[in-house]
Chain A
Amino acid sequence: MTTTTSTLAPSRQGEVASTGPRNLARDILIVLHRELRPLLRDPFSIMFGLIQPIIFLALFGPLLVGSLGGAAEGALGESVWQWFVPSILVMTALFGTSMTGSNLLFDFQTGAHERMMVTPLSRPSLLVGRALKEMVPLSWQAVLIVVVMLPFGFTLYPVGAAGGLVILAIFGVGLGSLSYALAIAVRKQDWMFWVVQQTFIFPVMILSGMLLPLETGPHWMQVASKFNPLTYMVDAERALFGGDLTNPDVLWGILAALGTAVLGLAVGIRMMRRSAD
């Protein structure tokens, strides 16, 4: 143990004596790296977030083709898959990132989050690093869905698709942050997390026109959808994956993604600062 002692003295002098402000970017990278490690070690874990989207793709998609495919030239455009696959991508973001707060809840239960809170890591980095991580599984999932759908007559427009993935990732950061914020808010009654998440997820999904076009729905649903950022995400993804880069829907989608990200990060950071109480 003499070797241990000899190497300790300089490290105490060197690191701990530094009193300058923390580097936020470095802190975010530390948290991001730590969050990505289990994912990189076990890439199959992204399948967990894909279960629901794949069920919808496999079981709901064919029904959509059957019921709307023939008569839907106007509403759905050239092909049902061209209309439905972008929906599934947004759905993947919705399901995957809205669940991610449960990981933080688990860290609350074990004590891992408390340990991180006692370290000098800046409080915002604890949220931002986690939220940025959401981009990675989400992008993998999206690419996987697109690749799987190519043999089924889904046409790929590479530039639009790439743009679609970028705004999807930005949206995922926002929704992931909100999910973490929810986890922090309900950490003392953790079952509330799933109640709120499930109550939130289905209305916003249906009111985004993701599964069925809202044009045929009642007027009030069409109005409600205008207040749903997911609507703009879905429309933008459809435009981009259809290669229609100049469609104004794209701009609205970018705004919805950025708006969700800014709101999510602001709320998330605020909650993170108070998460030890």
Chain B
Amino acid sequence: MIHTTALTKDFVVSRTETVHAVKGINLTVEPGELVAVLGPNGAGKTTTMRMLTSLIHPTSGTARVAGYDVATDPSQVRRRIGYVGQGNGAGHTQLVRDEMYTQGVIYGLDRRSAARRADELLAALDLVPLAKRKVSDLSGGQRRRLDVAMGLVHAPSLLFLDEPSTGLDPQNRANLWEHILRMRVEHEMTIMLTTHYLDEADSMAERVVVVDHGEIIADDTAENLKNNLAGDRVVLSVAPMPDAGAHLEQVVSRVEHVREVTTDSPGHLTVRVDQGPHTLPRLLRAVDAAGFTVTAAELHRPTLDDVFLGLTGRSLRESSAAAETDPASPDAATDKDAA
């Protein structure tokens, strides 16, 4: 469905500065997959998606989307994909149903089919009571559902969602996802989405592609990423004992499945382990046997943020915050939403 080879995009910012937004991405997405592209702002997610949807030309490399090359056959690609961008796709002065109808006509439906299709999708996305409203009068969640409805008018086999739930409250996010997932089953769609919501990538996507600085740094199921790249985290507190520090670390690091031990403060350790639920009791027994008294123990299952931290040494949340204030970041330069 998607196949890219060394896909690259450079933005020339000034005579002396070129931003390498996407650096030779190789990505293959099979029909029916639901892939989340995860990364901080400025990582190249949106730039990649804009190349795949024919909005911008790659600097080099190729991308085949829905069977056609985006650079040489953009018109064929456009007929086959649905796209929900970061902004709102409906014109603010238009009426909801009018925009749905026009979208159908654009994709080649005759008047009657376009009208029928508009009504079907308005019903499917709970927008019927809003059909005669002006788009500018809708709430953020309603506009987002309308965006998704418009992206589905021609029953595309491939749907791109660029940060579909940014700015929505948790209830609206859940509601939007309910609609998207149902539509996916009904339309047998392949879906590729970008997000910087970790939990969204975690719970919705079957495959997570982690992007940083324009490169893919990990690509697997969320479960595998967390197990292989982050592991579980155990936080231990032991009762104070004289000159225990180094000895305690040694005891802990000798336990099977322990990867890394750090002493946060005297008597407090953070331990990265594999198979946390099994390792924790063994850890406690070993520490106990060495003569220490454990006063508290917590097991943290990993999040995708831990994965990102493990891969880059940075937290995804911090990177996002930093990138938003960085004017040189290519996403910030091209996103309207970043402003």
Residues of A bordering B, CB below 8 Å: 1, 3-5, 7-8, 11-12, 15-16, 18-19, 22, 27, 30, 33-34, 37-38, 41, 106-112, 114-115, 117-122, 188, 276-277
Contact = CB atoms under 8 A, between A and B. Distances in A.
B300 interface: no
B75 interface: yes
A16 B120 CA distance: 18
A119 B108 CA distance: 11
B5 interface: no
Interface in B176-233: 182, 186-187
Given A1-B124, A11-B117, A34-B94, A121 B55 contact: no
A30 B76 contact: no
Interface in B283-339: 333, 336
Contacts, number: 114
Nearest to A13: B155
Given A18-B108, A118-B85, A111 B156 contact: no
A11 B186 contact: no
A5 B152 CA distance: 13
The 7 A-B residue pairs with the shortest CB-CB distance, nearest first, are: A111-B87, A115-B89, A38-B93, A276-B55, A118-B83, A15-B108, A120-B78
Q: Label chain A's interface by main secondary structure.
A: helix
Contact of B83 (A7, A12, A115): A115
B109 A11 contact: yes
20 contacts: A3-B120, A4-B120, A11-B109, A12-B155, A16-B108, A30-B102, A33-B102, A109-B336, A110-B92, A110-B336, A111-B86, A112-B88, A115-B90, A118-B54, A118-B81, A119-B103, A120-B79, A122-B75, A188-B333, A276-B50
Nearest to B79: A120
A15 B154 contact: yes
Interface in B50-105: 50, 53-57, 75-76, 78-81, 83, 85-95, 98, 102-103, 105
A22 B116 contact: no
Contacts of B54: 118
Given A4-B120, A118-B83, A11 B113 contact: yes
A109 B336 CA distance: 6
A1 B123 CA distance: 9
B108 A7 contact: no
Contacts of B90: 112, 115
B234 interface: no
B159 to A, nearest CB: 11
A117 to B, nearest CB: 6
Contacts of A16: 79-80, 107-108, 154-157
B244 interface: no
A89 B24 CA distance: 56
Contacts of A7: 116-117, 120
A154 B120 CA distance: 55
Given A7-B120, A106-B92, A111-B336, A30 B105 contact: yes
B150 interface: yes
A106 B78 CA distance: 23
A12 B186 CA distance: 12
Given A1-B182, A19-B76, A30-B106, A110 B94 contact: no
Interface of B: 50, 53-57, 75-76, 78-81, 83, 85-95, 98, 102-103, 105-109, 113, 116-117, 120, 123-124, 147, 150, 154-157, 182, 186-187, 333, 336
Contacts of A27: 106
Contact of A112 (B50, B89, B116, B117): B89
A113 to B, nearest CB: 9
Contacts of B50: 276
A112 B92 contact: yes
Contacts of B117: 7, 11
Given A38-B94, A111-B85, A115-B85, 17 more contacts: A7-B117, A8-B155, A12-B155, A15-B107, A15-B108, A16-B156, A19-B79, A30-B106, A34-B91, A107-B91, A109-B336, A111-B87, A112-B87, A112-B91, A115-B87, A115-B90, A115-B150
Contacts of A4: 120, 123-124, 186
Contacts of B156: 16
A214 B319 CA distance: 63
A37 B98 CA distance: 9
A16 B68 CA distance: 13
Contacts of A41: 95
Contacts of A5: 186
Nearest to B160: A118
A12 B107 CA distance: 11
Most chain A beta-carbon contacts within 10 A, residue among B93, B116, B124, B157: B93
Contact of B75 (A11, A109, A120): A120
Contacts of B81: 118
A118 B94 contact: no
Nearest to B333: A188
Nearest to B187: A8
